[in-house]
Amino acid sequence: MSCDFPSLAAPGVRTLQPYQPGKPESELRREYGLSDIVKLASNENPLGPSPKGLTAVREALAHLARYPDGNGFELKTALSNRLQVPVDALTLGNGSNDVLELVARAFLTPEHEAVFSEHAFAVYPIVTQAIGATARVAKANPPAHAMPYGHDPAAMRASINGRTRVIFVANPNNPTGTWLKTAELEGFLDSVPEQVIVVVDEAYLEYVEPELDCPNAMQWLDRFPNLVVTRTFSKAYGLAGLRVGYAISDPRVADLLNRVREPFNVNSLALAAAAAALEDAGHLERGKATNRAGMSQLQEACRNFGLTWLPSAGNFLCIDLGGRSGREVFLELLKRGVITRPVDNYGLPRHLRISIGTEAENARLIEALADVLKQ
């Protein structure tokens, strides 16, 4: 007897398309038999994890028979001291993706709506649909805008209605790299009704250069109790493989998020590594310097190729390939051992997102891209 299992699933799950991560190196080895591979697909830190974080992981290995601290006391205390926020304003997650899902689980229902922009992070529609809530996708800026394909605060504000319960704002945004400037984001927050939770996703904040006027939204937590700021250790801190992120919010909001948080959602190694990485300012600065130099290296190559790119405050560049298909170029680069990220699933079929790597990795990408563009 055959059971129609999809019919048993929750309505939002039946048609849900799972998140598609960047292609791992191991998969490329299996498919193409390559051994010399450069991965510039997932916005990871090319310098790897903090040495202090690695030391903390080694020391924590001896205690793997024990459950982790379910409340993450040491990491929360370290974050509290670093960010100057109370411990009860913090929520830890299995990566910041986990925290985004906690927001959806805590505040969305099938009777409510979530607002986010076109070309925004793919997890926002996934967590919204999984809950059974309705997604309101605001029109993004037009291509000729100073922030092409970036968030339009007016369009997002116009999407709010009586059913709106959550708004997701990635700043800087992935996959475009664009950002809302200080006055834009502050004005938007000021215009949102107090009963609507606004999540400002700052996964790339550590890479922001001061002259870009991309704000740290934590400065407004006291003014806007409905504000939730999410961050991650996966990018600048190089701990993507351990999965640890966090949210800062009004303690009343954090209490609700922690009610739906899975027990032990952050493992012992991640807790130890993240707390240690916070103290490694030197590694963070080296990563930022590498990103700054690599961004210039890749932009200069694009100029030479006659290609344009979207403004980026992150550790990646979203390149406009003109008349070429982003997926086609992605596949050709795979044959040459270089993994990038097509973004047609984000509504950008002629763009390719490329993570900033080391100087040598960037050079390898540039050489491969030059070869592909000749075809």
Residue of 191, 141, 189, 194 whose CA lies nearest to 169: 189
Q: Which residues pair with 116 in a beta bridge?
A: 137
pLDDT at 70 over 80: yes
Other C-beta atoms closer than 10 Å to the C-beta of 224 total 18
Model confidence band, residue 190 (pLDDT cutoffs 50, 70, 90)? very high
- pLDDT for 244 equals 98
pLDDT at 304 over 60: yes
The residues, any chain, with a CB within 8 Å of residue 17's CB and separated by 6 or more, are: 126
Residues in the chain: 375
Domains in the chain: ranges and CATH: 21-48+281-373 (3.90.1150.10), 51-277 (3.40.640.10)
| 1, pLDDT greater than 70 | no
Identify the residue with better confidence: 266 or 8. 266
Proportion of the chain above pLDDT 90, given as a percent: 90
pTM of structure: 0.94
Whose CA is closest to 277, among 56, 64, 98, 73? Answer: 56
Q: Tell me what the mean pLDDT of segment 310-339 comes to.
A: 96
Beta-strand relationship, 245-249 and 90-93: antiparallel
Residue 118: C-alpha distances to residues 107, 139, 330 (Å)? 22, 6, 22
Work out whether strand 316-320 and strand 351-355 pair parallel, antiparallel, or are unpaired. Answer: antiparallel
Element (H, E) at 200: strand 197-201
Cα 63 vs. chain centroid, distance in angstroms? Answer: 30
Please check the confidence at residue 235 and state whether its pLDDT lies above 80. Answer: yes
User: How many CB atoms are located within 10 Å of the residue 342 CB?
Assistant: 24
Query: Which residues lie across from 299 on neighbouring strands?
Result: none
Whether the predicted pLDDT of 334 surpasses 80: yes
Burial class from Cβ neighbours inside 10 Å (0-12, 13-18, 19+) for residue 3 reads exposed
Q: What is the pLDDT of residue 200?
A: 98
Average pLDDT over residues 237-244: 97
pLDDT computed for residue 13 by the predictor: 84
103-138 tens-digit pLDDT: 999 999 999 999 999 999 999 999 999 999 999 999
